[in-house]
Amino acid sequence: MSVPVHYLNQLPSSGWLKRQLGLPAQTSLLIIFDRCLKGKGSFTSWVKQFPHRYGVAAGEKLKAVEHFSQHVLRLNKVVGELPTSQLVVVAVGGGSVGDFAGFFASVYKRGVTLVHVPSTWLAAIDSAHGGKTGLNLGGIKNQIGTFHSGSLIVVCRELLATQDRAHHRAAFAELFKVALLSGGTLYRATCQLVDLSTDSLWKVLPLAVTAKNKIVARDPLEKRGDRQLLNLGHTVGHVLEAFYQLPHGQAVALGLKFAVEWSRSLGKVSQRASEQIQAELEVRLDLSQVEKQLHRRKRLPTITLTRLLLRDKKLSGAGQVVFVFPEKVGRVRRQRVAVAAIVREMRRQGWK
Amino acid sequence: MSVPVHYLNQLPSSGWLKRQLGLPAQTSLLIIFDRCLKGKGSFTSWVKQFPHRYGVAAGEKLKAVEHFSQHVLRLNKVVGELPTSQLVVVAVGGGSVGDFAGFFASVYKRGVTLVHVPSTWLAAIDSAHGGKTGLNLGGIKNQIGTFHSGSLIVVCRELLATQDRAHHRAAFAELFKVALLSGGTLYRATCQLVDLSTDSLWKVLPLAVTAKNKIVARDPLEKRGDRQLLNLGHTVGHVLEAFYQLPHGQAVALGLKFAVEWSRSLGKVSQRASEQIQAELEVRLDLSQVEKQLHRRKRLPTITLTRLLLRDKKLSGAGQVVFVFPEKVGRVRRQRVAVAAIVREMRRQGWK
């Protein structure tokens, strides 16, 4: 079940990928890539070595189930008459490209081999790992999906280095989440990041990936519930993401802040620990400033809030969801809470 | 991995299904059913006990990936805000309904529990077992699909008894295929069927299901190749099905006859065994008559034949497929053959 992750400076050759997968030279790689990567670093010349390739416009629209059949018809043409046993899908892009290509690989001819080459920090830290794929249904994220692990994950510094600084900040939320969950060396290393430069993130990345994979390995299909811990910060994060159309990373950061503050007000985490945790987020992401702007932008009606919370895939019974409360660095607890209680707490924390 | 199969005279109550699944009483069952069943036996009153139900028009159109998003949007409305953990999809219908509902269950919110209640003999004998789901892409069958086993399979005599005799004949091909693969008691029982009445088929059904499940258990995800044995008769069967728009069962019967005759001409099966096997098919399905009619209907151009054969999911290399040759009752052998060799053999056997 453990998936090999490689950290390379440059993009790997087609031959190297096949050797890592233990596949014969005649294997065909189908590259599904984010068109935005064209012209970045050596990407354009690299991608040309692959005869089977499919460029996509990254983003949530790519994941709309309504467009899936058109994509598959086109992908089917690109693939031609290759034998399934000799086909490998290589997803080169951020979260949306990985989710889309991963879903395609999991259902095309009942499943083909998948490789992830994440091109964003968010994907490199989080979404490329753990085997979740997803499509959106009627604008709601990941209502359709599968568990289909990459057989290989290749993280290339060259690709990540082309990202602008706003994306580094977005990735920090998921990095901090997994650090908070696992504590120890990873949490210390994360708090010691003096900036969010490529160098800093590259250093801490392998620790974060290992920590996430450790949690996933306990519950790969999210059956026993251990994997739900990774939902820390996401219950309210997803609501804010959908309502304010925020980038995922920023929404998760706000959701983390919310969870810590709720834990504090319930006495589940000490005042001191909660202040320390919140300060780490604040100093890097200016969350108070972000909150103020959002509060001014539009009000969150209770009916909308409730509807958004009831979409949660962690819904555990009539009007209840599983919420992850931080207790201290390295320890959280899952607890069923009523959707109405989350709404009340959001009001208390200033989300009007 | 072994899936419980129940053989009941009547349709089961909602409470019985939940108890068999070990699920609490508040679990919701989403019934996806073939609309043709309305008015048949006690079906109409039975289905009304389920608040969540979705009637579909059975057939290959239901499986078109192009329509999938519309179905899912409607199904999502039927489901409403039920927690995923409390949702069970129950597929009541033949092969197309089972394939469609099974695929839906495998990808909806990354997978929910599935129950099959096959309403056709073909589904009861074959497609409801083994965990394959499928959608069609651009008119090509099962190009999209997953492996998602039913957690429970309930075969109801009451439903099967409503089928007309033509469907009994269609089901015989898959029954005979698995009998030929496994030999022994099942083969003897199959050859002793004096007619294809509900009584006869009902008696032999559990043996056939057990035999298929035994083969599936050796290779549930079709990785080691053992499961490819179930493809006996299907390589050419699928081609005839697509080209002449034949019912699946009839096409498989013709494909079985083809495979036995090819084996005989290559000396892989004895003259005597091949004659005995072919006679069993002939006496029940009048295959020579069917062939004559098809030969008169339209010619099969080589270019079309080749294209149809190259669609095969058992494609194993450039222009080669894995073909299953019968050697004697209870023994077959897989062998890579060139698509061109299949075309030549089809010509020799009179498919012009």
Q: How confident is the model at residue A332 (pLDDT cuts 50, 70, 90)?
A: very high
In whole angstroms, how far apart are CA B44 and each of A314, B9, B10, B159? 34, 16, 13, 12
The per-residue pLDDT for range B60-86, each reduced to its tens digit, is 999 999 999 999 999 999 998 777 778
For position B118, which CATH number holds? 3.40.50.1970
> Per-residue pLDDT averaged across A106-113, rounded?
95
Condensed to tens digits (0 to 9), the pLDDT of residues B236-265 reads: 999 999 999 999 999 999 999 999 999 999
What would the two tokens of residue A125 be?
Answer: 């830290």
Chain B residues with CB-CB distance to A221 below 8 A: 111
Q: How many domains does chain A have?
A: 2
Residues A171 and A109 in one domain: no
Boundary (domain end) residue, out of A163, A191, A209? A163
User: Look-up: residue for tokens 């499928």?
Assistant: B134
CB contact under 8 A, B313 and A73: no
Residue type, B125: I
- Give yes or no: residues B186 and B334 share one domain: yes
**pLDDT score at A172:** 95
- CA B251, CA B246: separation in Å to the nearest integer? 6
**Full residue range of the structural domain in which residue A92 is found:** 5-163
Do B105 and B199 lie in one domain? The reply is no
* CATH code of the domain covering residue B229: 1.20.1090.10
Evaluate the CA torsion angle A19, A22, A25, A28 in order and state its sign.
negative
The answer on B159 and B28 residing in a single domain is: yes
Q: Does residue A132 belong to the interface with chain B, where contact is any CB pair within 8 Å?
A: yes
Beta-carbon-side half-sphere exposure of residue A129 (alpha carbons within 13 Å): 31
State residue B319's pLDDT score. Answer: 85
Examine the domain organization and report whether A270 and A285 are in the same domain. Answer: yes
**A109, A142, A163 — which closes off a domain?**
A163
Residues of chain B contacting residue A311, judged by C-beta atoms under 8 Å apart: 81
Q: Do A313 and B145 touch (CB under 8 A)?
A: no
Same domain, yes or no, for A183 and A311?
yes
What is the rounded radius of gyration, in angstroms, for the C-alpha atoms of chain A? 20
User: Does B165 score more than 90 pLDDT?
Assistant: no
pLDDT of residue A194: 85
pLDDT at B1: 56
> CB B316 to CB A144 under 8 A?
no
Q: pLDDT band for A167, please (50, 70, 90 cuts).
A: confident
In sequence order, the 6+-apart residues with CB closer than 8 A to the CB of B53 are B30, B31, B32, B33, B47, B78
Burial class (CB in 10 A: 0-12, 13-18, 19+), B20: middle
**What are the beta bridge partners of residue B324?**
B334
Residue B46 CB contacts under 8 Å (≥ 6 apart), including other chains: B11
Q: Do B215 and B71 lie in a common domain?
A: no
Q: What angle do CA B3, B8, B12 make, to 5 degrees?
A: 85
A-chain CB neighbours of B72 within 8 Å are 65, 137, 143-144
Residues of chain A with C-beta less than 8 angstroms from the C-beta of B80: none
Confidence (pLDDT) at A1: 55
Catalytic residue ranges of A: 110, 132, 174, 212, 222, 227, 231, 234, 238, 248
Q: What angle do CA B263, B265, B270 make, to 5 degrees?
A: 65
Question: Please, are residues B155 and B207 in contact by the beta-carbon 8 Å criterion?
Answer: no
Are the beta carbons of A107 and B108 separated by less than 8 Å? Answer: no
Q: What is the pLDDT of residues A289-322, one digit of tens each?
A: 999 999 999 999 999 999 999 887 767 777 889 9
Q: Do both B57 and B174 map to the same domain?
A: no
Residues B293-316, mean pLDDT to the nearest whole number: 88
List the beta bridge partners of residue A331.
A328
**Same domain, yes or no, for B13 and B139?**
yes
Catalytic residue among B52, B63, B116, B132: B132
Picking from A138, A147, A316, the nearest residue to B76 by CB comes out as A138
Find the radius of gyration of the CA atoms of chain B. 20
Mean pLDDT computed over B9-19: 95
Cβ pair A321, A335 in contact under 8 A: no
Mean residue pLDDT across chain A: 94
A189 in the same domain as A153 = no
The candidate with the shortest Cα–Cα distance to B319, out of B332, B302, B306, is: B306
| B337 DSSP assignment | E
Chain A residue closest in CA terms to B309: A81
pLDDT tens, position by position, B169-180? 889 999 999 999
Question: Chain A residues with CB inside 8 Å of B110's CB?
Answer: 132, 134, 142, 145-147, 222, 313
pLDDT digits (tens, 9 = 90+) for A34-70: 999 999 989 999 999 999 999 999 999 999 999 999 9
Specify whether B137 is located in the same domain as B196. no
**What pLDDT digit, counting tens, does each position of A139-163 carry?**
889 999 999 999 999 999 999 999 8
Query: What interface predicted TM-score (ipTM) does this complex get?
Result: 0.93
Same domain as A157, residue A79: yes
Query: Which of B104, B137, B163 is a domain's end point?
Result: B163
Average pLDDT in the B205-209 region? 97
Disruptive mutation site among A144, A308, A339 for chain B (greatest number of B CBs within 10 Å):
A144
Nearest to A310 by CA among A267, A344, A340: A340
- Candidates A73, A138, A68; CA nearest to A102 is A68
Q: How many CB pairs under 8 A join A and B?
A: 104
